[in-house]
Structure 1
Amino acid sequence: MAEGAGAIVKRWVGFTVFLAVVALAVVGVMHRQEIKDHFAAIGYEVTPRVSELVKDLDLTDSGRRVFIATHPTVDGSQHFNAQCSEVDHSEQGHVLGCYTSDRIHLFDVTDDRVSGIVEITAAHELLHATFSRLEDGDRTLLASRLRDVYDDLAPTHPDLQARMVVYEHLSDAAFANELHSVLGTEVRDLPSWLEDHYAQWFTDRSALIDDFEKYHTVFNDLQSEADALQNEMTALRDDVEKRKAAYGDAVDRFNADANAFRARVERNEYVENLAGEQAESAALQQRRAGLDADLASLQKDIDRYNGLRDDLASLSEVSAELDEHLDSDLAPVTTRPNE
C-alpha cells in the first residue's frame, strides 16, 4: 500500500526538526564561549565605574561582552592585592591589574597626572581574556605571528624591547600572551592583519595608544629631566673641583709671593727703587683681584650646583609621590572595592 501523504509530511517534518537540532548543536559548540560570556555578562551588575571604563575604552559589542563577562572590579584599597596575589610582582613595576580565574581586577589610580592608566590597564587585561578564549590551534598560530611582529619591531623600538625583556623567561605561549596585550595597548603602528585582529574588541585602538603615550610621557619626562640634571651636575662638579684645585694652588703661590714682597719691603730693598716697589705691589693687587673674581665665580657655580641638587630633590619627590599613588601596598585598608 502506498504511503499516505500525511505520513510523508510527518516524516519530513521530523527530519527537518532533527536537522534544526543538529544545526543548533553545531552552532552551540562553535559559539559556546560567546554563549557562556553572554550569560556571564547578564549575571553581572555593571557599576558606574565599570560603565565609565567601557565607554572610555570604546569597546565593540564583542569587547564589551568579554569585558563584562569577566566581572571586572575597580578597587582602590588593599583588597586589590588579595585579588591579584598570584601575580609575580618581580616581573614588572607596580601591579595595576590582573586577569586571573577569568576575572579582571584593576587598581583604581586617581592621580590626574597619569589619567588613562586605569583604562590602558583594563584594555591590557581584556586582551589577556580574549587570548585565553582562542582555540588552541588559533592561539598557537597567533603566538607565532605575534613573535614575528615583535622580532621585526624590536630593532627600531627599544622601549618595546625593554618592556618585553622582563617576560623573556616565560614559555613561548606565556610570552605571546603578554605580547598580545602589550602590542595592542602600547604600540601604534602594527601590520594591518593585527589591526583587524584588535578591531574585534576596540573601535578606536589609536585612542588607546594616545592615552598610553600621554601618561607614559609623564614618567619619561621625569626620567629625562632627572638624567639631564644628573649629567649637568656631574659636569659642573668636575669643573668646580678642577677650578677649586687650581684656585688653591694660585692662592698658595700668591701668598708666597706676597710674603716674599713684604720681606723685601721690611729689608728696605726698595729704598732706592720706589717705582719697582709700586709696580710689584700693583701686580700683587691685580693678582688678588683676579683671585677674588675666581672665588666669586666658583661660589656662583657652587650655588648653581646646589640649586640643581634641590631641583633633582624636587623631581625625586614628584616621582616618589606618583610612585606612591601607583603602589597598591600603600592603598587604604578600609576603602570599599567596586565589584
Structure 2
Amino acid sequence: MLRRKFSKTVIIVNTTISLILIALALLIVANRQRIIDQITVWQFHPTSAITSLVDRAGMNGNGKFLYLSSQPALDATQNFNNECDRIENTTSILGCYSNYRIFIYDVTDKKLDGVREVTAAHETLHAAYARLGSDEKDKINVLLEAEYKKLENNKDYVDRMAFYARTEPGERDNELHSVIGTEIANINPDLEKYYDNYFSDRQKVVALNTKYSSVFINLKAHANVLLAQLNSLSEGIGSATERYNSDVKTLNADIFEFNRRANNGSFQTQSQFNYERAVLSARVDELDVGRAKIDADLALYDQTLAEYNSIASESKKLYNSIDSTLAPAPTV
C-alpha cells in the first residue's frame, strides 16, 4: 500500500513538473525576442557616449532597453559605410538599423549638436517597429498614414518619402514610424500615447531635430536671400553699365561737335557758347554720378558675393561633416 501511494505521488509530481516545463517553454517561445534582448543588454557594455544619446533624446526605460539591445555603435570611420549602405550619393546616411544592430555616424561638429541623439532615437524606433506583431503594425500604420497626410504639402517630407520608396521599397510605414516619432511635435493623441511606450518626453528629441536641422535650413535661406541680391545687383549693374557706356559715347560725340563748332566760330554769341558748354558740363556731372553709383553697386556686389561664398563654404563644411564617404580609414 505504501509503495502504491508513493508511486502515485511520483506520477503527480512528474506530471506537475511536465506541465510547468511546457508552460515555461511556451512562455519562452512567446517572449523569445524579449529574452534575447535581455541577455544582449546584460552582455553589452556601452560607453557613456552611447548611453548619453538616448538620455538626451528623452527616451524612457523601455526605449533605452531597445536601444541597448541593438548594441549601438558610434563610428566616424569608413567602417560605418560597411554597415550602412549608401544607395544614392546625393543623400548622407546618418545611421542605420541593420542585422538587429544600430550604427550611428559620429558627427562631432558642435554646430550640429543633437544630430546623433535624433539618429539614435530614429534607429531605436526601427528596432521597436521590428518587434511589433502584425496586428499591432496594422493598427499603428493607420495612425502613421493619417499623420503623414498632414505633411503631404511639405516638400521636404514628400522628397524624403520618395527617397525611401526608391532605396527601401516596402518600408514606408517603418520609416514613417521613425520620422514622425522623432521629428513631428504635434500628432494624434492615440499615436502620442503609443510613443509613450518608448519616450518619457518625446518633445526632447523633436527639439533636438529642430535645433540641428535649422542650422541647414537657416544657411540655405540666407544663401537664397544673398543669391537673389546678387542676381538683382548683377542685372542692375549690367543695365546701368550699358546705359553709361551709351551715354558716354553720345556725350563724346556731342563734345567733339561742340569743339568743332567752337573752332569754326559757329557760335554767334558768347552766351550761346556758355549755355551749350554748361549743358555738356552738366551731362558730364550726371555721368559721374551714374559711374559712382555703378562703382558703389560693384563694391556691394563684391561684399555680398564674399558673404555668399562664406555661407557656401560653411554649408559645405557642415555637409562634409555628415558625409560618411569622407570619413578616414579605421586605425589599426
Tell me if TM exceeds 0.5. yes
Percent of aligned positions that are identical: 30
Residue 253 of structure 1: aligned partner: 250
Task: Please name the residue that 1:207 is paired with.
Answer: 204
Cα deviation code 1:170-224 (max 9, x no counterpart) = 6774111111111111111111111112111111110101000000000000100
SS in 2 for 1:213: helix
Describe the shift of the 1:208–1:54 C-alpha distance in structure 2 as closer, same or farther (beyond 3 A).
Answer: closer
Alignment of 1:111-260 (within 5 A): 111-155=109-153, 157-169=154-166, 173-260=170-257
Other structure's SS at 2:164 match:
coil
Residue number among 303, 306, 319 corresponding to 2:302 in the alignment: 306
Offset of residue 311 of structure 1? 0.9
Structure 1 residues 92 and 267 mapped into 2: Cα distance closer, same or farther (>3 Å)?
A: closer
Say if 1:207 and 1:91 are closer, same or farther in 2 by CA, change over 3 A.
farther
Aligned-partner Cα distance in 1 for 2:52–2:331 = 20
CA change 1:47–1:64 in 2 (3 A) is: same
Per-residue deviation, residues 104-146 of structure 1 (Å, max 9, x unmatched): 1111111100001011111111111111111233224433432
Q: Which moved more, 1:305-314 or 1:214-223?
A: 305-314
1:27 matched to which residue of 2? 27
Deviation, structure 1 residue 17: 5.1
Letter of the structure 2 residue corresponding to residue 51 of structure 1: T
Structure 2 unmatched ranges of 5 or more: none
Distance (Å, rounded) in 1 between the aligned partners of 2:188 and 2:307: 43
Equivalent residue number for residue 326 of structure 1: 322
Supply the distance in 2 between the matched residues of 1:233 and 1:33 (Cα, whole angstroms).
Answer: 59
Q: 1:91 touches 1:166 (CA, 8 Å); kept in 2?
A: no
**How far does residue 42 in structure 1 lie from its aligned partner after superposition?**
0.9
Compared CA separation, residues 58 and 5, structure 1 to 2 (3 A):
farther
Partner of 2:74, secondary structure, is strand
Q: Secondary structure at the match of 2:165?
A: coil
Moved beyond 4 Å, runs of 4+: 4-23
Shift in alpha-carbon separation, 1:322–1:335, aligned structure 2, 3 A: farther
Q: Which moved more, 1:167-176 or 1:217-226?
A: 167-176
* Normalised TM-score (structure 2): 0.91
CA spacing shift, 1:78–1:136, aligned 2, 3 Å? same
* Paired residues of 2:165 and 2:171 also in contact (CA < 8 A): no
Q: Give the Cα separation in 2 of the matches to 1:198 and 1:316.
A: 38
Q: Read off the aligned partner of 1:41 and give its amino acid letter.
A: V
Scaled by the length of structure 1, the TM-score of the pair is 0.89
Distance 1:200 1:67, change over 3 A: same
Q: C-alpha deviations, 1:301-327, integer Å up to 9, x for none?
A: 011111111111111110111122112
Task: Mark the runs of 5 or more structure 1 residues left unpaired by the alignment.
Answer: none
Equivalent residue number for residue 291 of structure 1: 287
SS of structure 2 residue aligned to 1:167: helix
Which whole-Å deviations, capped at 9, do the CAs of 1:272-297 have from their partners, x for residues lacking one?
40011011111111110000110010
Residue 41 (structure 1) shift: 0.9
Post-superposition CA distance 1:209-253 (Å, at most 9, x none): 100000000000010011011111111111111111111221122
User: Which amino acid is the alignment partner of residue 276 of structure 1?
Assistant: Q
